[in-house]
Amino acid sequence: MKEAEIEAAWHGLASCSRCQIQDLVLFADLTPEDFGAIHLPIDDLWLPPGAVLYRAETTQTSLFTLREGLVKLEQYLPDGARRIVSLAGAGAVIGLEAMLGTPYEHDAVALQPSKLCRIPTAVIQRLSPKLNQALMRKWHDSVRTAHACLRDLSTGAARQRVARLFLQLAPPEIPRCRLFGREDVGALLGVTTETASKTVAEFKRQGVIREIAPNLFERDIDALNRIADGD
Amino acid sequence: MKEAEIEAAWHGLASCSRCQIQDLVLFADLTPEDFGAIHLPIDDLWLPPGAVLYRAETTQTSLFTLREGLVKLEQYLPDGARRIVSLAGAGAVIGLEAMLGTPYEHDAVALQPSKLCRIPTAVIQRLSPKLNQALMRKWHDSVRTAHACLRDLSTGAARQRVARLFLQLAPPEIPRCRLFGREDVGALLGVTTETASKTVAEFKRQGVIREIAPNLFERDIDALNRIADGD
DNA sequence: CGGAATCTTGAGGAGTTTCAAAACATGTGG
DNA sequence: CCACATGTTTTGAAACTCCTCAAGATTCCG
């Protein structure tokens, strides 16, 4: 197991008011004056795959918005087994629990090259209640993706789970998607690394997916949908 | 499958300021004046097992606090399979998504006799931002129980999942706990009804649990912990 | 060009599902 | 109060899936 505890690369102060995905993230409803009232630094981060954003049990005074990429949130079972309990994609807010002053609940690790912003909780508190609605929406998103993870990725036979994962990795109109390591696929779907590998390999042989480059796949959406619904 | 669409029994207006589990629920930090400012009716509900609190896709302007009992939140897979994605116990807030004006995401059904309060979202909005912290905490609880559901109840072998469920059904110092139907146990753990039944029956034979009355069990916590950690 | 991960593959066994039936519980009408 | 119908729980046997263990193939990186 690779332990790439890379210190997040500081890229510079973010200019939130000109953020391309502003409406996706937290500050959608803010006015120019509001932006002026932000006096704390919002760091701009870039994380390579495998880099750790934060560790469970640690306490910080920041939360993170994911502008681009994919981040896994993982926890450990009493017997030491590792389980990915949620995937965070572009627009997601990670580490919301910092708003409560409590320690982080997961290890947060990049699965794909990711761009994020580190936002001090004090900034949120100052702009509250203006951000209230947006914050609730983000919190709700966390619940929804957790439930989706359980419902779609941890239910049914292994081939159904893998099919549903491939369907979730990109919008249906884009045939291509990028996958990550088999060990992580297993930890996400609740199966062994070997089963994950075997199932992906089987899909390749059956032509349901086609590997264009290492871990870059072209998907047959219809076929995947059929498998996801139980052959 | 029993379809007990019982209309929730209206029990009377709740007196929140004298609520026994006030600190568990939403209104912990309110002053007497705050309570005076609540001008909308907070209904007091009692639900028998099997009663439906609300259905997915419907939109209402209330959320619910669970004062006593156990409620399941379930969703459906594309192929029609049913999956319990979260359990709500005493102190939980259910239907938080009503705060966003969006439809409920689950079917909410009582598993055990349950007492709850129906709180109009307008009440919360009026008392905001006084309730902000409490609200965030409840929202975070939803995320945490969802992740716990995935991590503990949907990971590993069936006997581990059943053991972890028995451990979660009551605090460790109380040896007794109450279970629900095998079909629901299966839907919660992601196994078939038969496997749920067989595993519970096996635990009874092995003396890990003892059935005092129908679905009322006395637990051997140590033995359950051993099984939960993988024999 | 090694060396170390990661991915793939295979065979055997353990665990789960499936299908079917029996045992049990519950509630209704005679 | 019993007989019966209904629904749930339990059990069994066979088929299947998934896991375990082990080895080979491949990729990645110094």
Nearest to A153 by CA among A104, A125, A207, A191: A191
Q: What is the DSSP string of A134-147?
A: HHHHHHHHHHHHHH
Where do we find the tokens 């909308």? B40
Distance between CA atoms of residues A43 and A97, nearest Å: 19
Residue B69 pLDDT: 95
Shortest CA–C1' contact from A199: which nucleotide? C8
Question: pTM of the prediction?
Answer: 0.92
Q: Which residue has the tokens 């319990």?
A: B84
Q: What is the mean pLDDT of chain B?
A: 89
pLDDT tens readout for residues B81-95 = 999 999 999 999 999
Alpha-carbon span B188 to B182, nearest angstrom? 10
Q: What is the rounded CA–CA span in Å between residue A102 and residue A58?
A: 9
pLDDT tens per residue, range A116-134 = 999 999 999 988 778 888 9
| Pick among A76, A121, A126, A155 to test the B interface (most B CBs inside 10 A) | A155
Higher pLDDT, A20 or B124: B124
**pLDDT value at residue B7:** 46
Distance B179 CA to D13 C1' (A): 29
* Residue B148 pLDDT greater than 80, yes or no: yes
To which residue do tokens 């096996």 refer?
Answer: B202
Lowest-confidence pick of A56-65, A187-196, B123-132, B163-172 = B123-132
Question: Which protein residues have a C-beta closer than 7 A to any atom of strand C?
Answer: A 1-2, 181-183, 193-194, 197-198, 200-201, 204, 215; B 157-159, 190-192, 194-195, 198-199, 214
Phi first, then psi: give them for residue B125, nearest 5 degrees.
Answer: -60, -40
Q: What is the pLDDT of residue A34?
A: 80
Lowest mean pLDDT among A30-34, B104-108, B137-141: A30-34
A141, B92, B156, B163 from B152: Cα distances, Å: 22, 19, 8, 10
- What is chain A's pLDDT, residue by residue, as a tens digit (231 residues)? 333 444 444 555 556 776 766 666 688 777 778 877 777 788 889 999 999 999 999 999 999 999 999 999 999 998 889 999 999 999 999 999 999 999 999 999 999 999 999 999 999 998 877 888 899 999 999 999 999 999 999 999 999 999 999 999 999 999 999 999 999 999 999 999 999 999 999 999 999 999 999 999 999 999 999 999 987
pLDDT at A15: 65
Select from A143, A167, A188, A222 the residue whose CB has the most chain B CBs within 10 Å, as the one to mutate to test that interface: A143
The pLDDT value recorded for residue A51 is 95
CB pairs under 8 A between A and B: 112
The answer to whether B100 contacts A136, with C-beta atoms less than 8 Å apart, is yes
Q: Identify whether the C-beta of residue B39 lies closer than 8 Å to the C-beta of residue B132.
A: no
Query: Helices B182-189 and B132-153, interaxial angle, to 10°?
Result: 100
**The predicted structure's pLDDT at residue A18:** 67
- Segment B102-107 mean pLDDT: 97
Q: CA B195, B199, B202: angle at the middle one, nearest 5?
A: 140
A78 vs B229: CB contact, 8 Å cut-off? yes
Question: C-alpha distances in angstroms, B197 versus B81, B166, B190, B212?
Answer: 18, 14, 13, 17
Q: Is residue A92 less than 8 Å (CB to CB) from chain B?
A: no
